[in-house]
Structure 1
Amino acid sequence: MIFDFFKYQPRLPGLNDFPLAAYSTDFSLDRLVLGVDNIRCDVRLSPTFCNTTAKLAALLIERETGIWTRPEKVRLSALAKEQENFRHLYGQIMTDAVNKARAAKEMQVDFLAQIAILSMLHEEIRRQYDLLISYCKNTIRKTDLAHQEDPKLGLKLKDDLAHVLAIREPVQQKVGLELCDYFKEIRETDIREMREAVFGQDLPFLFDLLSNPIVHRDNPFNDYFMIEEYDLCLGRRVDDPDRYEVLLSVLRSIFAFLDMEETAAVHWSLDRRRREISAAELPEDKEARKFQLQKIDQWIRHPGNIDLLLNQDLTKTQLKTLKREQADKQTIGNHRLRLKHQRLLTGYFFQQFSRTGLMERITASYEMQPMYRDYCPPLIPQQVLQYLIAPKSRKLIRSRLKRLKKLYGKTFRLWPLNRKVVQMERMGTRRKKAYLVRFLRAFFRYHRDYCCFNVYRRASERINLVTDKKILTLSKANRTLYEFLLPHEQEMGEKPIINHTIIKADLRGSTDITHQMNARGLNPASYFSLNFFDPITDILAEYDAHKVFIEGDAIILAIFEREDTPSGWYSVARACGMALNMLMIINRYNKKSQAHQLPILELGIGICHRADSPTFLFDGDNRIMISPAINLADRLSGCHKSVRRIIRKNISPFNLFVFQSVTDEEMKQTADDILLRYNINGIELNEAGFRKLSQEIDLKPYYGDIPDLGLEKVRLYTGKFPTKTGRYQRLVLREAEVPSVNPKDLSQLNLTHRKYYEVCTSPNLYKLTQKIFGGKTSTRKKDIAASVAQ
Structure 2
Amino acid sequence: MVTKLDNLFRWRPDAEEFSKPLQFKKPFKLLFDRLPIGVDNNRIDVTLSQEFMDRCRLFVRRSMLHDVTENYWGEPPPPPDNKDLQALREGYAGLMELTVDRARKYNRLEMVQLLQFSVVKFLLQLVGQEYDRLRNQVQRAKSVDSHQSTGRSVQLHDRLVLLARNEAAIRYRITRRLFREMLKIENMRLSKLRKSVLGQSWPVPKPLLFNPMLQLPSLWADEQVMSHYPLVCTDREDQDGFDRVNRLVTGLFAEFLPSWCWSVDPADPFDATCSDIQTTARRHQGEQGGLPGYTESLMLLKRSLQPTEYENGNCSWLDIPENIDRIVYSVKHRSAIRTDYDAPRLRVTWENAKWPGFHHRLMKRILKAFQGSRVELDLLACHAAPGVYHELNRQVPVRIICQYLSGRMTKRDLQRKLNSLQGKAVPAQVIKVLDRMLLIIRRMPAPRRRRRIFSFLRHFALFRRDLKQAYQAHVAMHRIHLLVRPEDIELSRRNGSLLEFPLRVELKPEQHRIRNHVIIKADVRGSTVMTNELRNRNLNPASHFSLNFFEPINKLLESYGAKKVFIEGDAVILSIFEYEDTPYQWLCVSHACGLARKILQVVDNQNVKNRQNDLPELELGLGIAFSDEAPTFLYDEGREIMISPAINRADQLSSCSAAVKRSEYGKRLGRGVVVLAPAPREIINKESTDKLIRYNVNGIELDFPAYYKLKSELSFRRIELDSGKRSNNDHLLVARYPDLEGHMHVLVIREAAVTVWDGEKAGRQAADGRCYYQVISDPEMIAYAIEQSNQRRRPLPDISGTTAEEKTTEPRLFH
Q: For residue 675 of structure 1, report the CA deviation from its aligned partner.
A: 1.9
Instruction: Tell me how far apart the structure 2 counterparts of residues 418 and 90 of structure 1 sit (CA, whole Å).
Output: 50
Distance 1:70 1:7, change over 3 A: closer
Distance 1:673 1:469, change over 3 A: same
Q: For residue 247 of structure 1, report the CA deviation from its aligned partner.
A: 3.3
Moved more, 768-777 or 404-413: 404-413
Counterpart in 1 of 2:725?
709
Instruction: Tell me how far apart the structure 2 counterparts of residues 671 and 202 of structure 1 sit (CA, whole Å).
Output: 57
CA contact (8 A) 2:701 2:775 kept: yes
Q: For residue 643 of structure 1, report the CA deviation from its aligned partner.
A: 1.6
Distance 1:6 1:298, change over 3 A: closer
CA contact (8 A) 1:654 1:762 kept: no
Deviations 1:216-237 (A, max 9, x none): 3332222333323213322547
CA contact (8 A) 2:564 2:575 kept: yes
CA contact (8 A) 1:252 1:296 kept: no
Counterpart in 2 of 1:182?
181
Q: For residue 156 of structure 1, report the CA deviation from its aligned partner.
A: 7.2
Q: For residue 645 of structure 1, report the CA deviation from its aligned partner.
A: 1.7
Q: For residue 206 of structure 1, report the CA deviation from its aligned partner.
A: 4.9
Counterpart in 1 of 2:221?
222
Instruction: Tell me how far apart the structure 2 counterparts of residues 5 and 382 of structure 1 sit (CA, whole Å).
Output: 45
Alignment match of 1:113 (pick from 107, 112, 115)? 115
Specify the SS of the correspondent of 2:323: helix
Counterpart in 1 of 2:748?
732
Distance 1:745 1:349, change over 3 A: farther
Q: For residue 475 of structure 1, report the CA deviation from its aligned partner.
A: 2.2
Q: For residue 553 of structure 1, report the CA deviation from its aligned partner.
A: 1.6
* Amino acid in the other structure paired with 2:702: L
Instruction: Tell me how far apart the structure 2 counterparts of residues 260 and 527 of structure 1 sit (CA, whole Å).
Output: 81
* Amino acid in the other structure paired with 1:503: I
* Amino acid in the other structure paired with 1:222: A
Counterpart in 2 of 1:96?
98
Instruction: Tell me how far apart the structure 1 counterparts of residues 373 and 519 of structure 2 sit (CA, whole Å).
Output: 72
Counterpart in 1 of 2:33?
30
* Amino acid in the other structure paired with 2:324: I
Specify the SS of the correspondent of 1:564: coil
Specify the SS of the correspondent of 1:656: strand
* Amino acid in the other structure paired with 1:51: D
Pair 1:597-2:614 in alignment? yes
Distance 1:121 1:336, change over 3 A: farther
Counterpart in 2 of 1:303?
321
Counterpart in 2 of 1:465?
482
Specify the SS of the correspondent of 2:800: helix
Deviations 1:632-666 (A, max 9, x none): 11111001111212255565697212223265999
Q: CA RMSD in A?
A: 4.3
* Amino acid in the other structure paired with 1:658: V
- Summarize the alignment of residues 447-466 of structure 1 with structure 2, pairs less than 5 Å apart: 447-466=464-483
Pair 1:12-2:12 in alignment? yes
CA contact (8 A) 2:229 2:463 kept: yes
Specify the SS of the correspondent of 1:42: strand
Specify the SS of the correspondent of 1:233: helix
Counterpart in 1 of 2:55?
52
Counterpart in 1 of 2:88?
86
Counterpart in 1 of 2:210?
211
Instruction: Tell me how far apart the structure 1 counterparts of residues 211 and 754 of structure 2 sit (CA, whole Å).
Output: 67
Counterpart in 2 of 1:196?
195
* Amino acid in the other structure paired with 2:128: R
Report the TM-score when normalising by structure 2: 0.81
Pair 1:480-2:478 in alignment? no
- Summarize the alignment of residues 288-687 of structure 1 with structure 2, pairs less than 5 Å apart: 290=308, 297-312=315-330, 334=351, 342-353=359-370, 357-371=374-388, 380-390=397-407, 393-398=410-415, 400-401=417-418, 408-412=425-429, 414=431, 430-492=447-509, 494-646=511-663, 648-649=665-666, 655-661=672-678, 672-687=689-704
Specify the SS of the correspondent of 2:519: strand
Counterpart in 1 of 2:171?
172
Instruction: Tell me how far apart the structure 2 counterparts of residues 117 and 549 of structure 1 sit (CA, whole Å).
Output: 40
Counterpart in 2 of 1:690?
707
Distance 1:336 1:501, change over 3 A: same
Counterpart in 1 of 2:293?
none
Counterpart in 2 of 1:268?
none
Counterpart in 1 of 2:800?
782
Q: For residue 197 of structure 1, report the CA deviation from its aligned partner.
A: 4.6
Report the TM-score when normalising by structure 1: 0.83
Instruction: Tell me how far apart the structure 2 counterparts of residues 782 and 720 of structure 1 sit (CA, whole Å).
Output: 16
Q: For residue 255 of structure 1, report the CA deviation from its aligned partner.
A: 4.4
CA contact (8 A) 2:524 2:621 kept: yes
What is the percentage of aligned positions where both structures have the same residue? 26
Distance 1:493 1:21, change over 3 A: closer
Q: For residue 277 of structure 1, report the CA deviation from its aligned partner.
A: 11
CA contact (8 A) 1:683 1:760 kept: yes
Q: For residue 526 of structure 1, report the CA deviation from its aligned partner.
A: 3.7
Unaligned 5+ segments in structure 1 are: 262-274, 283-287, 323-330
Instruction: Tell me how far apart the structure 1 counterparts of residues 423 and 356 of structure 2 sit (CA, whole Å).
Output: 55
Q: For residue 102 of structure 1, report the CA deviation from its aligned partner.
A: 4.3
Alignment match of 2:78 (pick from 67, 75, 80)? 75
Deviations 1:44-65 (A, max 9, x none): 2222222211221123224433
Distance 1:653 1:107, change over 3 A: farther
Deviations 1:428-456 (A, max 9, x none): 66444322221122122222322232233
Deviations 1:29-51 (A, max 9, x none): 23322333333333222222222
Instruction: Tell me how far apart the structure 2 counterparts of residues 556 and 62 of structure 1 sit (CA, whole Å).
Output: 56
Q: For residue 577 of structure 1, report the CA deviation from its aligned partner.
A: 0.8
Q: For residue 392 of structure 1, report the CA deviation from its aligned partner.
A: 8.0
Distance 1:392 1:220, change over 3 A: closer
Instruction: Tell me how far apart the structure 2 counterparts of residues 666 and 305 of structure 1 sit (CA, whole Å).
Output: 77
Counterpart in 1 of 2:786?
770
Deviations 1:86-145 (A, max 9, x none): 222221122233334445543222222222222222232233333444555677788889
Distance 1:633 1:543, change over 3 A: same
* Amino acid in the other structure paired with 1:632: R
More helix by share: 1
Specify the SS of the correspondent of 1:229: coil
Count of matched residue positions in the alignment of Structure 1 and Structure 2: 756
Distance 1:537 1:741, change over 3 A: same
Instruction: Tell me how far apart the structure 2 counterparts of residues 720 and 34 of structure 1 sit (CA, whole Å).
Output: 41
Instruction: Tell me how far apart the structure 2 counterparts of residues 236 and 68 of structure 1 sit (CA, whole Å).
Output: 27
CA contact (8 A) 1:733 1:757 kept: yes
Deviations 1:732-780 (A, max 9, x none): 2223343344346555484224332221223333233234433121344
Instruction: Tell me how far apart the structure 1 counterparts of residues 431 and 87 of structure 2 sit (CA, whole Å).
Output: 53
Specify the SS of the correspondent of 2:219: coil
* Amino acid in the other structure paired with 1:556: I
Distance 1:383 1:183, change over 3 A: closer
CA contact (8 A) 1:21 1:299 kept: yes
Deviations 1:392-414 (A, max 9, x none): 84553355557879974341464
CA contact (8 A) 2:69 2:76 kept: no
Counterpart in 2 of 1:248?
246
Alignment match of 2:770 (pick from 744, 754, 764)? 754
Distance 1:278 1:744, change over 3 A: same
Distance 1:749 1:542, change over 3 A: closer
Instruction: Tell me how far apart the structure 1 counterparts of residues 157 and 188 of structure 2 sit (CA, whole Å).
Output: 45
Counterpart in 1 of 2:288?
none
Specify the SS of the correspondent of 1:38: coil
Instruction: Tell me how far apart the structure 1 counterparts of residues 430 and 76 of structure 2 sit (CA, whole Å).
Output: 47
Distance 1:513 1:725, change over 3 A: same
